[in-house]
Amino acid sequence: MTTTHSTIGRMPIRFSKATRLASLATLGATLLVAAAAARPTPLGAQAGALSAIGAPRDPKVKLPWDTYYDHAGIGEVVRKLAAAHPNYIKAGSIGKSHEGKDLYLLTVSDFRVGDPDRKPAYYIDGNIHSNEVQGSEFALYIAWYLAEMAGEVPAIDSLLRQRTLYIVPTINPDGRDHYLHQPNTASSPRTGLVPRDNDHDGLVDEDGYNDLNGDGHITQMRRRNPNGRFIESPVDPRIMIPAPPGQKGEWEILGLEGYDMDGDGLVNEDPVGGYDPNRNWPWRWAPQYVQGGADYYPGSLPETRAVMDFVYSRPNIAAAQSYHNNGGMILRGPGVPQDEYKPADVRVFDHLGRVGEEILPGYRYMIVWKDLYTVWGGELDWLYGARGVITFTNELWSSFLYFDKPVVNEPYDNVTARFDRLLMMGEGYVPWTKVQHPQYGEIEVGGMKKNFGRATPGFMMRAEAHRNAAFTLYQMSQMPQVSVDSVMTRSLPGGLTEVTAIVGNHKIIPTHTQQDLDNRISRPDWVTLEGADPIAAFIVTNPLQDIAVEQKRNPRRILVDNIPGMGTVTVRWIVRGGGPYRVTVDSEKGGQATWSK
């Protein structure tokens, strides 16, 4: 099998001879395996079956990728993956939710090579908003895909050897289980479950939705009223449309299912929770009257602090993704205009974002404050602002994906209803159903089910997961990777030797983003010489004109502020002693490399 996925990104591909030989060897091995497949296999793969490209041939962990798991289910998947792939996946936890559920962590890397916590790392989390569920499955998919394809695709093996992936599939398991198990809409809850007095009336969580028809979904209420201003759409009676001017209506719309539980004249005004987990982060945190949902203070939620503690403990994290839904967006910060990103970093984001748009048709690369709305105290702002990490948030599921084209709504119709009729046989809606309402009398409830509209439909989940995974794998391949490109020596008078090393980073993302450099977030990269006694050390700031600046202290270890993306830095020592020399470059986010003679 050849490494077809390396053609993404329009980067010129250089296969080394070693890679080409390895490809041929793998091809040869595949032919042998294919021959073996003619015999019955113990794991149930159909004898004689041909695997489709892009899917593991006979996965050890068989998952349908068309289901939304609750927290216990995610735990099961995590355990199965780690048990089946001990060389590549370790299971852990970064802490506990408010209700004491583990925030599961998958560490994905080739553990036979190097220390995973010293390799350049990519961090992913999903489901920060309780109802935005598919991020968890999509995050798990990446681990599954990598582990199941390991040994089959050289580029994947290389990624696993050189990089680490930290995956926290859900950072809001309490809210996730409420969305899945309790009556909700597609948009509820967004909050987690720490109790809050939303309406400041002294009672906590006292008036949430009420599932009047007991179907597990919170839908719309309507009541027959000749003075109401709504009628049913002639195209699809499930859709309510305004009555034309001058025409008598038939229905009034009464809001989402519920009644006034606490007698204060308001309905559904204080459901569970009452904050926005993605406004609780410390970068540009602002109080609730500036940013709704920010809660009492940044990090007031245990889930926020668990993620922060984890990220601060892993200075090797160079890039990150936090999954949300919906909208088909590839978002980068800043969340507020005065934090506009530095030009050097914008160039990196722009390139990755454009590649993302290509991998994910229907997704658009956007800036949060400019193209979406202002966000104070968001997670991606903190990851970039406080840790200098190249971070995207993908808003999964786009209405473009209903028909693989931009949405054009017909009169009296909408794209979700049309998709439901043509592709789902009407499964996505609760038909209008009569119920008795404690205050309003006889009403009807109906509308979109909670797992439709924002959650990716089951038959499309795997494809969308794979494309988002491919976007992540591209970024992972472009995280910094330091190398020692060459070491040259030259004799100097008096028995001294000049040793010149060129260290490189042949990836798009620099070892230090500009945000990192401006605020000295990560330590400098270290270039260390062993095997000789360094008398003086220099950074050759202009290799063409051979202009060098001395590093006056501690010549054995040269401190390099940054190795730029697709760039090199030239360093030099004057030494006494003839070697053999050993030059090591060690970067917090860029890995390590050694050259020795």
Partner 1 sequence: MLAAVAIVAPALGATQLQAQQPVASGYRDHASLGRALDSLQRAHPRLVQVSTIGSSAGGRALHAIRLGTGGDAADQRPALLVVANAYGPQLIGSEIAVAAAGQLASSYGRDSATTRLLDGNTIYFVPRANPDAAEAFFRSPRVERTGNDTKTDDDRDGAQDEDGPEDLNGDGVITMMRVADPDGAWMADALDPLIMRRANAAKGERGAWQLHTEGRDSDGDSRINEDGPGGTDVNRNFTHDYQFFVEGTGLYPMSSTEARALADYMIDHPNIAAAYVLGPQDNLIKPWEFRRTTGIAGNPPGTSAGGPLQSILQPDEAWFAEMSRRYRKATGQTKAPPSAPLEGDVLSWLYFDMGRLAFGSPGWVMPDAPADSASPRPEQPDPAADERAALRWLRANVPGSVVEWTRVEHPDFPGRVVEVGGFRPYARQNPPASMLGDILAKQTTFIGELAGSLARVALREIRVETVGDRTFRITAQIVNEGYLPTQAAIGARVRWPRAVRVDLRTSDGQHLAAGRAVQLMSPIAGSGRSTELSWLVVGAPGSTVTLEAASPTSGRATETITLRAR
Which residues are at the interface with partner 1 (CB under 8 A)? Answer: 200-202, 262-265, 282-283, 285-292, 296-300, 308, 312, 336-338, 373-374, 376, 382, 385-386, 519-520, 523, 553
Amino acid at 563: I
Answer for the pair 230, 253: CB distance below 8 angstroms, yes or no. yes
Min CB(367)–partner 1 separation in Å: 15
Q: How far is CA 243 from the centre of its chain?
A: 43
Q: Which is nearer to partner 1, 433 or 519 (CB)?
A: 519
Neighbouring residues of 110: CB distance < 8 A, sequence distance ≥ 6: 87, 88, 150, 157, 160, 161
Neighbouring residues of 127: CB distance < 8 A, sequence distance ≥ 6: 133, 135, 136, 169, 170, 171, 172, 173, 175, 176, 323
Q: Which is nearer to partner 1, 111 or 259 (CB)?
A: 259
Answer for the pair 26, 19: CB distance below 8 angstroms, yes or no. no
Min CB(297)–partner 1 separation in Å: 5
Rounded to whole angstroms, the Cα distance separating 128 from 351 reads 26
Q: Which is nearer to partner 1, 291 or 511 (CB)?
A: 291
Report the half-sphere exposure of 596 (CA within 13 A, side-chain side): 7
Assigned token pair, 527: 């270039």
Min CB(300)–partner 1 separation in Å: 8
Min CB(376)–partner 1 separation in Å: 7
Q: Which is nearer to partner 1, 73 or 282 (CB)?
A: 282
Answer for the pair 597, 579: CB distance below 8 angstroms, yes or no. yes
Q: Which is nearer to partner 1, 354 or 523 (CB)?
A: 523
Q: Which is nearer to partner 1, 502 or 563 (CB)?
A: 563
Q: Which is nearer to partner 1, 185 or 291 (CB)?
A: 291
Please give the angle made by the CA atoms of 458, 74 and 391, to the nearest 5 degrees: 85
Min CB(129)–partner 1 separation in Å: 18
Amino acid at 126: G
Q: Which is nearer to partner 1, 208 or 328 (CB)?
A: 208
Answer for the pair 270, 208: CB distance below 8 angstroms, yes or no. yes
Min CB(553)–partner 1 separation in Å: 7
Residues 536-554: b if buried by 16+ CB within 10 A, e if exposed? ebbbbeeeeeeebeebeee
Residues 278-304: b if buried by 16+ CB within 10 A, e if exposed? bbbbebbbbeeeebebbbeebbebbbb
Min CB(291)–partner 1 separation in Å: 6
Q: Which is nearer to partner 1, 199 or 232 (CB)?
A: 199
Min CB(292)–partner 1 separation in Å: 8
Look-up of token digits 């995956």: 167
- Beta-bridge partners for 559: 526
Min CB(542)–partner 1 separation in Å: 26
